[in-house]
Amino acid sequence: MGARDRLDRLRERANIANRDADEPTALAAVVLAISLLLLSPIAWVLLEASEMPTGRLVELVLSETTTTVTVNTLLLVAAVTVLSILIGVPLALLTVQTDLPFKRFWTVTAALPLVVPSYIGAFAFVSAFGPRGELADLLAPLGIQSIPTIYGLHGTILVLTLFTYPYVFLTTRASLISFDGTVVEAARSLNASRWDAFKRVTLPQILPGIAAGALLVALYALSDFGTPAIMRYDVFTRMIFVEEQARNLDAAAVLSLLLLVLAMAILAVESRVGAGRDGAYVSSGDRRPGEIQLGYWKLPAMGFCALIATLCLALPIGILGLWLVRSADATQAGFVFGAQHVINSVTLAAAAAGLCVVVALPIAYLSARGDGTLSSLPERVSYVGYAVPGVVIGLSLIYLALRFVPFLYQSLFVLVFAYVVRFLPQAVGTTESSVLQVDPSYIEAARSLGYGPITAFRKVVLPLVAPGIAAGAALVFLTTMKELPATLLLRPVGFETIVTYIWLVRGAAYQGQAAIPALILVGVSGLSMLIILRQES
């Protein structure tokens, strides 16, 4: 080999090395910029609080409203979490480890309440059990004039529990299924009874699963806006909305800050539980322990499953059906639901989905392929949308827009950005898991066949991760369709979507007309759940 040849080769190699070094840096810079944008809602809350005179801040934090709202919220979160465990764990045990008849059917009915957006559930419950509701109408001829009110704490607890316990059910079920049955047999061969074996072996191992579900429920109960608003129960989300409508900006900011602190606290606990799950506690295997014979308990167990299914599924869907029948013969009055609402919702959702995919890909790629904590930092940051309640995102973007980009105020651009902040974690999650499944040696193979890094990515990685990206886009699309608080706060005047239509009708008590849009949203939620299930299998 001549000296010239060798020099050429060296130069070539150096070139490749240079390109290698350049590429992640450029990628990292883009990703960093995106991350900073994503953090803007939190930045606003902190900015607003820091600009406030200390006296006013202390006054607001210690005010009676704040105290009441904090107590109310904590009560609600605690009660919903505990009740969800009490419903979700027994249902998971019944459907996985016993000889309950029609197990598959009950598994589906136990998970299905997740497809009913909780504000629609709340709406249906008010319509069924509220004053002048269906139940009151039924009882009135019998001389019963008043029934206990559905509004307030217990109504909120009831509705939130019924529509969020499936999180506990699903995570508990997953850990029961992956749980290695031989350890139960081992325990019994060491003279532990069935109950002893459950307590000493099964329970400690499924505890992280239960905790993971319970924390999801807690986070949901903390940040849900629709249910407490409909149930007229003063929690952070509702009061932030009320203060915003009353233009009490500083009060809304302080409440937002406190809400954020609570959400972060729940997430901190969750990440610790998650870390524990990766540790020494996993025993997985495909052997199931023998089924528990229910015997005389078969009927009560089925009754329990049926009761939950009736409350969570039959009742809201029945109410929606009733509205549908009634609205058919009632004359259309006031607000008319039309194609425009659907078009608006779909347009917004498609824009959010498209933007999320574009943003998620570099973040997911960097996190999956990069080394060290620095490259996974943007991925962590993208989870901010998961932690920050929708009402806080909505509120902060209003004021950020007014202050820094007034020409964008009241534009759809801000609304779409809010959706991206909120739902980016879903797109990043599905994309990252599909990037992780692509063997890095594929790229090396493509490079060794003479393609540059970008061509190699386009020709090899992209086709392989496309299904994950598509799933992420579909998820964002569907969840955007049913998003309530940010849409309410940020939509331009006169721009109505399916969700805002339902909200309007609820306010004006023209329930009948909510039937069709509500059923559309239930269908949309059902689709997104199908996608999640397919991703997991």
Partner 1 sequence: MAKQKPSQRISEFETIETAVDDPEETVLSIDGVSKEYGREKAVEKLSLSVKDGELLTLLGPSGCGKTTTLRMIAGLEAPSAGSITIAGETVADGENGAFNKPEERDVGIVFQDYALFPHLNVAENIAFGLDELDDDETDARVAELLELVDLQAHDEKMPSQLSGGQQQRVALARSLAPEPDLLLLDEPFSNLDVRLRVEMREEVRRILKRAGVTAISVTHDQEEALSISDRVAIMNDGAIAQVGNPGEVFENPESRFVASFLGQASFLSARVTNRLETGLGSFDPELLNGPIEAYDGAMIDVLVRPDDLQAMPSTEPKADGYVVHRQYNGPNFIYRVELHSGDVVHCMHNHVETFEAGQPVEVDLAADHELAWYPAE
Residues found near partner 1 in the complex (CB under 8 A): 180, 182-183, 185-193, 196, 200-201, 204-205, 280-283, 285, 290
Q: In the bound complex, what is the minimum distance in angstroms from residue 187's beta carbon to partner 1?
A: 7
Q: In the bound complex, what is the minimum distance in angstroms from residue 192's beta carbon to partner 1?
A: 6
Which C-beta is closer to partner 1: that of 118 or that of 205?
A: 205
**If 0-12 CB within 10 Å is exposed, 13-18 middle and 19+ buried, where does residue 178 land?**
middle
Residue with tokens 């307030």: 152
Residue 367: partners with Cβ closer than 8 Å, 6 or more residues away: 375, 376, 378, 379, 428, 432
CB 449 within 8 A of CB 322: no
Which C-beta is closer to partner 1: that of 103 or that of 194?
A: 194
Q: In the bound complex, what is the minimum distance in angstroms from residue 294's beta carbon to partner 1?
A: 17
Which C-beta is closer to partner 1: that of 134 or that of 185?
A: 185
Q: How many whole angstroms separate alpha carbon 264 and alpha carbon 533?
A: 27
Give, to the nearest 10 degrees, the angle between helix 339-369 and helix 462-482: 140
Q: Using the CB atoms, write b or e for 234-264: b if 16+ within 10 Å.
A: bbbbbbbbbbbeeebebbbbbbbbbbbebbe
Q: In the bound complex, what is the minimum distance in angstroms from residue 321's beta carbon to partner 1?
A: 44
172 is written with which tokens? 């508990």
Q: Nearest 10 degrees: CA dihedral of 81, 151, 479, 393?
A: -90
Q: In the bound complex, what is the minimum distance in angstroms from residue 188's beta carbon to partner 1?
A: 4
Cα–Cα–Cα angle for 213, 216, 217, nearest 5°? 90
Which C-beta is closer to partner 1: that of 183 or that of 529?
A: 183
Q: In the bound complex, what is the minimum distance in angstroms from residue 45's beta carbon to partner 1?
A: 40
Which C-beta is closer to partner 1: that of 78 or that of 282?
A: 282
264 is written with which tokens? 């972060």
Which C-beta is closer to partner 1: that of 80 or that of 184?
A: 184
84 is written with which tokens? 């969800």
Residue with tokens 């059917």: 105
Q: In the bound complex, what is the minimum distance in angstroms from residue 282's beta carbon to partner 1?
A: 6
386 is written with which tokens? 């998961």
DSSP secondary-structure letter at 388?
A: S
Q: In the bound complex, what is the minimum distance in angstroms from residue 186's beta carbon to partner 1?
A: 4
510 is written with which tokens? 């023209």
SS3 at position 179 = strand
Q: In the bound complex, what is the minimum distance in angstroms from residue 171's beta carbon to partner 1?
A: 17
296 is written with which tokens? 């005389």
Which residue from 135, 95, 79 is spatially nearest to 304, judged by alpha carbons?
95
SS3 at position 269 = helix
Q: Using the CB atoms, write b or e for 341-379: b if 16+ within 10 Å.
A: bbebbeebbbbbbebbbebbbbbbbbbbbbeeeebbbbb
Which C-beta is closer to partner 1: that of 18 or that of 283?
A: 283
CB 378 within 8 A of CB 366: yes
CB 193 within 8 A of CB 147: no
End-to-end CA distance of the chain: 55
Hey, what amino acid is at 513?
Q
Q: In the bound complex, what is the minimum distance in angstroms from residue 176's beta carbon to partner 1?
A: 15
| Phi/psi at 461 (5° precision) | -75, -45
Q: How many whole angstroms separate alpha carbon 387 and alpha carbon 381?
A: 10
Q: From start to end of 273-419, where are the E strands?
A: none
Beta bridge partners of 292: 98
Q: In the bound complex, what is the minimum distance in angstroms from residue 352's beta carbon to partner 1?
A: 42
CB 87 within 8 A of CB 309: no
Q: In the bound complex, what is the minimum distance in angstroms from residue 198's beta carbon to partner 1?
A: 13
Q: In the bound complex, what is the minimum distance in angstroms from residue 191's beta carbon to partner 1?
A: 5
CB 389 within 8 A of CB 222: yes
Q: In the bound complex, what is the minimum distance in angstroms from residue 299's beta carbon to partner 1?
A: 25
Number of residues assigned to the chain? 537
